[in-house]
């Protein structure tokens, strides 16, 4: 009799366990929360594009007919590139970007005078681009002409006159031209960051980041020279 009771109890417990397993197997699974992709800053996005370019893995984004139609109605560039007019340093290729991504101001030697500064102000105040990269480059002809100190004909002397104060403090040791390229980019960065009334105010409020960078003609790599926040 005792054996029969134990057997019945065992069967009952087994049935309960099987029922619980069945309920668990049919219970709806909680949906997994999708992982949110890390949001890149504009500077990080530019450098990621440059890494793709250097590696020969450019994606050529935003270069199709749909993007052309979209940007025909307006522009919202995520960054401003102040660069040299040199044909070997096209920002959209160097940073693997496309239509409407970059607001580009290009003059020999990255020179920023009134018209260029006004263009930058427009991009920041009206278009909402709050990252500026001053992109100097290796073996810049405008900087080299300034370092050599020769008199250039026509209007070319305008950019050497603008660059000269930025490279006077460069020492004679080492690669003077490359040191001058870096000094010029950093000086123009500071010129933009302190340009009143518009750009300096955006920097003061922490709403504008200005950095200097150097592009290597041989490797294609962009090196950030100074990305410390500026406040004054």
pLDDT digits (tens, 9 = 90+) for 64-74: 999 999 999 99
Round to whole Å and give the CA distance between 107 and 112: 8
Q: Which of 205, 107, 120, 83 is nearest to 162 (CA)?
A: 107
Higher pLDDT, 53 or 36: 53
Tell me, yes or no, whether 24 lies in a domain. no
Domain containing 46 equals 42-226
Residue 1 lies in a domain: no
Q: Report the pLDDT averaged over residues 136-155.
A: 94
Mean pLDDT of 42-46: 98
**pLDDT digit string, tens, across residues 160-217:** 999 999 998 898 878 999 999 999 999 999 999 999 999 999 999 999 999 999 999 9
Note the pLDDT of residue 210. Answer: 97
**What whole-number distance in Å separates Cα of residue 142 and Cα of residue 133?**
19
81-90, 94-103, 222-231: the lowest-pLDDT one: 222-231
Please determine, for residue 225, whether its predicted confidence score (pLDDT) is greater than 50.
Answer: yes
> Is residue 8 in some structural domain?
no
Nearest to 192 by CA among 202, 178, 183: 202
> What is the average per-residue pLDDT within 104-117?
97
Query: What local confidence, expressed as pLDDT, does residue 169 receive?
Result: 82
20 lies in some domain: no
Domain membership flag for residue 25: no
Q: Which residues contact 105 (CB under 8 A, 6 or more apart)?
A: 80, 81, 82, 83, 112, 116, 119, 120
| Reported pTM | 0.81
| Residue 35 confidence (pLDDT) | 54
Name the residue with higher pLDDT: 150 or 16. Answer: 150
In a domain, 50, yes or no: yes
CATH code of 195's domain:
3.40.1050.10
User: Sorting pLDDT into bands at 50, 70 and 90, what band is 32?
Assistant: low
Q: Which of 29-38, 54-63, 101-110 has the lowest mean pLDDT?
A: 29-38
Number of domains making up the chain:
1
Which pLDDT belongs to residue 27?
42
- DSSP secondary structure, 161-198, as one string: HHHHHHHTT--SSS-HHHHHHHHHHHHHHHHHHT-TTH
Out of 32-36, 86-90, 178-182, 200-204, least confident range: 32-36
Residue 155 lies in a domain: yes
Work out the angle at residue 48's Cα, subtended by the Cα atoms of residues 64 and 185, and round it to the nearest 5 degrees: 105
The tokens describing 161, both together, are 């006159």
């Amino acid at each position: 009799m005792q054996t029969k009771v134990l057997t019945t109890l065992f069967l009952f417990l087994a049935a309960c366990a099987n029922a619980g397993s069945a309920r668990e197997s049919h219970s709806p699974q909680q949906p997994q929360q999708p992982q949110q992709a890390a949001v890149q800053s504009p500077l990080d996005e530019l450098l990621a594009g440059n890494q793709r370019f250097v590696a020969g893995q450019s994606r050529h984004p935003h270069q199709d007919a749909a993007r052309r139609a979209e940007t025909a109605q307006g522009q919202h560039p995520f960054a401003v590139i102040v660069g040299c007019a040199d044909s070997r340093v096209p920002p959209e290729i160097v940073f693997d970007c496309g239509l409407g991504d970059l607001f580009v101001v290009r003059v020999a030697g990255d020179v920023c005078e009134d018209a260029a500064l006004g263009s930058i102000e427009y991009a920041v105040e009206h278009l909402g681009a709050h990252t500026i990269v001053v992109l100097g480059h290796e073996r810049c002809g405008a900087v080299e002409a300034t370092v050599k100190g020769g008199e250039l004909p026509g209007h070319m002397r305008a950019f050497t006159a603008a660059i000269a104060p930025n490279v006077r403090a460069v020492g004679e040791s080492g690669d003077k031209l490359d040191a001058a390229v870096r000094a010029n980019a950093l000086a123009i960065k500071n010129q933009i960051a302190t340009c009143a009334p518009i750009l300096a105010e955006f920097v003061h409020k922490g709403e504008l980041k200005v950095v200097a960078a150097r592009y290597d003609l041989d490797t294609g790599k962009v090196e950030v020279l100074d990305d410390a926040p500026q406040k004054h």
